[in-house]
Structure 1
Amino acid sequence: MIADILFFMFASILLAGSLGVVLSKNPMYSVLFLVLSFFNAAGLFLLIGAEFLGLLLMMVYVGAIAVMFLFVLMTVDMTQQDDDGKRSPLFVTLVLVTGGVLLFEIIISILAGVASNTRLSEFVATQSDVQNIVQLGQVLFTNYVYPFIAVSMILLVGMVGAIVLTHRKREGALKQDISEQIGRTREESIEIVTPSLGKGIS
């Protein structure tokens, strides 16, 4: 009973926050509604026993991505708006088609679940003696180990490619020569002088 009440509470606030994201005219308010949606989505993950995904959603999306959005918005001049405030017909058509497809998928999923008389708990493979994080690790590093390695290599190549593309040689920049530093002798790096009294070192 308590789980059902929490589910409807989290789901209702999640839907309200999602509507606030797309309907709010102020981008700052949209990001705050997005953070609210993330927290309630994490609550839904916790209800089905996926505590790792719930905490990951809060740490990564709320702690990193949403904060990055806020920093970007604070550096952008949000006072500039369109003169007429009208949307292009292509944009409106794309939004309506995408929303219609998502609504159709949700309705089909609900009808299929009602027809088969299945519950959400039946899709969650839980074991009382094994923690959720351990189950996730077993599935990720056994059944999906090769896709996991492939995704890791793709991310590594993307990171190296971004570094290579953004690297520029600048004239006059100080560079470090490792071989010259290692090969220098004591006579080249240290100079012993005997200054005269009262004159100092020039």
Structure 2
Amino acid sequence: MEFKTFVFYVMGAILLFAALRVITARNPVHAALFLVLSFFSAAGIWLLLEAEFLAIVLVLVYVGAVMVLFLFVVMMLDINTERLRQGFWKHLPVGGLVGLLLAVQMILVLGGSYFGHDVMPAPPPADPDYSNTREIGLVLYTEYVYPFELASLVLLIAMVAAVTLTLRKRKGTRYINPSEQVSAQRKDRVELVSMPAEKE
């Protein structure tokens, strides 16, 4: 077995374990940290596939930004996990059916070469001057520019929703009205009092 194949199996095993722990961990913070581990493992697999740009983007964007946002929301919301687990068994059949359909779809997509189709030949070796970053940019901003813009809009909506979830009214907390601060004048803040001078 080559070393590259060995590293692929190790990274794949870590990725599967971390993905399983994301959905089975009882603590939401632990689940988010296992998701970080799965992102790092997926980035390692992409490095083996010579997709360095995608691996770096996965680490910088998802681990560096999105997961920080997830952890921020999870810690600020103070989620009651006991109440969330009450409806687990009630929704388990529907969830299992959806998971089975997704598994069948993945098998049909990834295992298409085993269902009557010829096995795809290996791609020719790339030129020394080949840049996968340039090719991704050309495809992303020409052929898939509208789905790319749509995905950015969905991420923006998710960020706004995450921020609004953390804005909760708490008793005994004083809030500042920015419009009142901006429209404030000197007479509203300072009062000049005329007092007679005192003689010793």
| Mapping 1:24-63, distance limit 5 Å | 24-63=25-64
TM-score for the superposition, normalised by structure 2: 0.66
Aligned counterpart, 2:95? 95
Equivalent of 2:182, from 160, 174, 177? 174
Opposite residue 98 of structure 2, the aligned amino acid is T
Contact 2:140/2:148 (<8 A) preserved: no
1:145-164: per-residue Cα shift (whole Å, max 9, x none)?
Answer: 5x278549x84xx78xx7xx
Equivalent of 1:118, from 117, 120, 144? 120
1:55-99: per-residue Cα shift (whole Å, max 9, x none)?
Answer: 10111110011111112222233466239744253x223311221
| Mapping 1:72-111, distance limit 5 Å | 72-78=73-79, 81-82=82-83, 85-87=86-88, 89=90, 91-111=91-111
From the superposition, tell whether residues 26 and 51 of structure 1 become closer, same or farther in structure 2 (CA, over 3 Å).
same
SS at match of 1:87: helix
| Mapping 1:158-169, distance limit 5 Å | none
Offset of residue 23 of structure 1: 0.8
Offset of residue 50 of structure 1: 1.2
How many correspondences in the alignment? 163
From the superposition, tell whether residues 125 and 19 of structure 1 become closer, same or farther in structure 2 (CA, over 3 Å).
farther
Q: Structure 1: state its 5+ residue gaps.
A: 177-202
SS at match of 1:173: helix
Q: Distance in 2 between matches of 1:109 and 1:149?
A: 22
Residue 8 (structure 2) pairs with residue 7 (structure 1): yes
Offset of residue 47 of structure 1: 1.4
Q: Distance in 2 between matches of 1:141 and 1:98?
A: 33
Offset of residue 36 of structure 1: 0.6
TM-score for the superposition, normalised by structure 1: 0.65
Aligned counterpart, 1:19? 20
1:2-52: per-residue Cα shift (whole Å, max 9, x none)?
Answer: 221121111111111110001111111101110011001111111111111
Offset of residue 127 of structure 1: 4.1
SS at match of 1:116: coil
Q: Structure 2: state its 5+ residue gaps.
A: 165-176, 185-200
Contact 1:126/1:132 (<8 A) preserved: no
Aligned counterpart, 2:138? 138
CA RMSD, aligned part only? 3.5
From the superposition, tell whether residues 150 and 125 of structure 1 become closer, same or farther in structure 2 (CA, over 3 Å).
farther
- Structure number with larger C-alpha Rg: 1
From the superposition, tell whether residues 170 and 87 of structure 1 become closer, same or farther in structure 2 (CA, over 3 Å).
same
Opposite residue 59 of structure 1, the aligned amino acid is L
Contact 1:7/1:47 (<8 A) preserved: yes
* Structure with greater contact order relative to length (CA < 8 Å, sep ≥ 6): 2
Q: Distance in 2 between matches of 1:83 and 1:10?
A: 32
